[in-house]
Amino acid sequence: MNVDLDSRIPNNVGLADDPKLRRALEAWQPKFIEWWRARGPEGLQESEIYLRTAVSVDRAGWAHYGYVRMPEYRWGIFLAPPEPDRVVPFGDSLGEPAWQQVPGELRAALRRLVVTQGDTEPASVEQQRALGARAPSLYDLRNLLQVNVEEARHLWAMVYLLFAHFGRDGREEAEALLERESGVADRPRVLGAFNRPISTWLDFFCFATFTDRDGKYQLASLAESGFDPLARTCRFMLTEEAHHLSVGELGVRRILARTVELMQRDPNEDARAHGGIDLPLLQRFVNHWFSESLDLFGSPDSSNAASAFGAGLKGRFQESRPGHYADHRLLDAVHAVEKPDPRGRLQREEVPMRRALNAVLQDAYVRECEKSLARWNDVLASADIAFRLALPSPRFNRKIGPFAASQWLPDGAPARERREIEAQLPLASDLAWLAALEAGMVREPGRVASWIAPPSQRIDDRPLDFEYVRFA
């Protein structure tokens, strides 16, 4: 696992010994930089940002911190170390040696998974590109940009697989990853949530909590793949993902801490009256990003999911963790999936387990989201505030799956009209209020905007008044 940090593309995949692949990736690199300058973080390309850069795949000491101008960031290709004698851990090929090359018959399905995963990475950078101008502190600005450069590194991870394993098709797909654009009607990003605007920091923190967590679960499932290069690349991506999730959850927690403080100052517990983000508004953002993120699991009854599992391409969460699952073939098991019947009555239908794997993954994801909500609600409870944030029912506001054709309220009851759903999602007036509240960037080291509490976590052991960004 030699890490080559000095070549044009830092890597541990032996690019120096594969001139054809190296040249192909080096030819893509300027197009990537052009994309980054045009659609990456706005107005900050020449500033120096205190960023971590992946430099190794060792658990201890995998990253290095220092000031970097983002277009000069060392985006590298890193695969987690190989596991000796690894076998396909599930599906019809269970126990066969893991594949180092793409099996011909799985090529189309695998390419689709890699492209879908790859597409989300530049999409999120595009979605977040304007947030810098309203950053609540240099600390938060730096975290945003850290997340952005790492999502771009994840794009490199998928592009490497396309170039190394999918020939001409792969090269074309790599180009297309820079052509599609989040929210642009005639060339949108592949998955729904990655075309929604992230126009406020509250959107960003909710996106990092809920949508990045879908990323964690999807990457973990792909990290089980029988196609070993995909498994290894996803395993290393998961190292970076943990930070993104914490940026989201802690961001919302700091908003709550500030809101609670402002509520306590007001006889009617009115945080907005004091320039804070009120709890019903926050709940509407939770409703929006949670339901959008559930759609990223696909349909709970899915032949695609069954084929991907049978073929050994996409496993379950922690499929190969010893003792976690007894059955890795799933030929006989069934799972009950909730669906409405044509008259809108709820029923549970047993489907073959392989077809229900999106639902199983989604359920595990929901359980983890519940824990974030519980930690947020602790902030409210310890301030003696009665309001509690809640995850909406998985039936609410769905565009994918059996609940997409009908309307359901956050409490899971049927809704009569679309208007009732819209009232539970961010309102135009919420966005206008937040736009005014968040206006302007806080540029002084150590200062934090008035709608969010200062962070308690440190970055690389630096104090809060550290100059995380040196503006050009």
Q: Which residue, 297 or 451, is less far from ligand BYC as judged by CB?
A: 297
Q: 13 and 160 in contact (C-beta within 8 Å)?
A: yes
Q: Least distance from C-beta 211 to ligand BYC, angstroms?
A: 5
Residue 191 CB, nearest distance to ligand BYC (Å)?
Answer: 4
Residue 351 makes contact with ligand BYC by CB under 6 A:
no
- Tell me whether residue 220 or residue 464 sits nearer to ligand BYC (CB atom): 220
Residue nearest to ligand BYC (CB): 298
Nearest approach in angstroms of CB 84 to ligand BYC is 27
Of 1-9, 58-66, 210-218, 403-411, the window that binds ligand BYC (rule: CB under 6 A) is 210-218
* Residue 276 or 392 with smaller CB distance to ligand BYC: 392
The residues in 441-470 that bind ligand BYC, with binding defined as CB under 6 A, are none
- 351 membership: H or E segment, kind and range: strand 346-352
Q: Shortest distance, CB of residue 337 to ligand BYC, whole angstroms? A: 12
Pick from 48, 151, 173, 438 the residue near ligand BYC by CB under 6 A.
151
Considering only residues 117, 182, 233, 291, which one is a binding residue for ligand BYC as defined by CB under 6 A? 117
Residues in contact with ligand BYC, counted by CB under 6 A, come to a total of 25
Q: Which is nearer to ligand BYC, 227 or 451 (CB)?
A: 227
CB-wise, 278 or 319, nearer to ligand BYC? 319
Pattern 294-313, ligand BYC, x by CB under 6 A: -xxxxx--x-xx--------
Cα gap 453→271, rounded to integer Å: 14
Q: Does 231 bind ligand BYC (CB under 6 A)?
A: no
Q: Which stretch binds ligand BYC (CB under 6 A): 80-88, 109-117, 134-142, 326-334?
A: 109-117
∠ CA(411), CA(415), CA(419), 5° rounding?
110
The residues with which 350 forms a beta bridge, in sequence order, are: 336
The CB-of-17 to ligand BYC minimum distance in angstroms stands at: 30
Minimum gap (Å) between residue 397 Cβ and ligand BYC: 13
- Give the Å distances, CA to CA, from 51 to 64, 150, 470: 8, 10, 12
Distance CA 155, CA 178 (A): 10
Cβ burial, residue 324 (10 Å; 0-12/13-18/19+): exposed
Q: Report the nearest approach of ligand BYC to the CB of residue 140 (Å).
A: 17
- Residue whose CB is less far from ligand BYC, 379 or 400: 400
Q: What is the dihedral of CA 185, 188, 192, 198, to 10 degrees?
A: -80
CA 287 to chain centre: 17
Rounded to whole angstroms, how far apart are CA atoms 43 and 46? 8
Choose the binding region for ligand BYC from 34-42, 110-118, 162-170, 263-271 (rule: CB under 6 A): 110-118
Minimum gap (Å) between residue 111 Cβ and ligand BYC: 11
| Separation between Cα atoms, residue 449 and residue 137, nearest integer Å | 7
d(CA 138, CA 445): 6
Quick check: 124 binds ligand BYC (CB under 6 A)? yes
Window contacting ligand BYC (CB under 6 A); options: 114-122, 262-270, 348-356, 384-392: 114-122
Query: Is residue 116 involved in binding ligand BYC (CB under 6 A)?
Result: yes
Q: Is 191 a residue that touches ligand BYC (CB under 6 A)?
A: yes
- Regarding 45 and contact with ligand BYC (CB under 6 A), the answer is no
C-alpha span between 273 and 278 (Å, rounded): 9
DSSP-based three-state secondary structure for 314? coil
Buried b (16+ CB within 10 A) or exposed e, 25-56: beebeeebbebbeebbbeebeebbbbbbbbbe
Give the Cα separation of 212 and 272 in Å (integer).
Answer: 28
Residue 218 binds ligand BYC, judged by CB under 6 A: yes
147-161 in b/e form (b: 16+ CB < 10 A) is bbbbbbbbbbbbbbb
Selected binder of ligand BYC within 54, 162, 400, 449 (CB under 6 A)? 400
Among 166, 128, 165, 167, CA closest to 148: 128
Give the shortest CB-439-to-ligand BYC separation in angstroms: 26
What angle (nearest 5°) sits at the alpha carbon of residue 228, between those of residues 52 and 16? Answer: 60
Cα 166 to Cα 119, 192, 417: the distances in Å are: 16, 26, 47
- 325, amino acid identity: Y
Tokens in use for 400?
């994918």
Stretch of residues binding ligand BYC (CB under 6 A), selected from 13-21, 95-103, 118-126, 257-265? 118-126
Contact between 192 and ligand BYC per CB under 6 A = yes
Candidates 5-13, 119-127, 174-182, 280-288 — which segment interacts with ligand BYC by CB under 6 A? 119-127
- Contacting positions for ligand BYC (CB under 6 A): 113, 116-117, 120-121, 124, 151, 191-192, 211-212, 214-215, 218, 295-299, 302, 304-305, 314, 358, 400
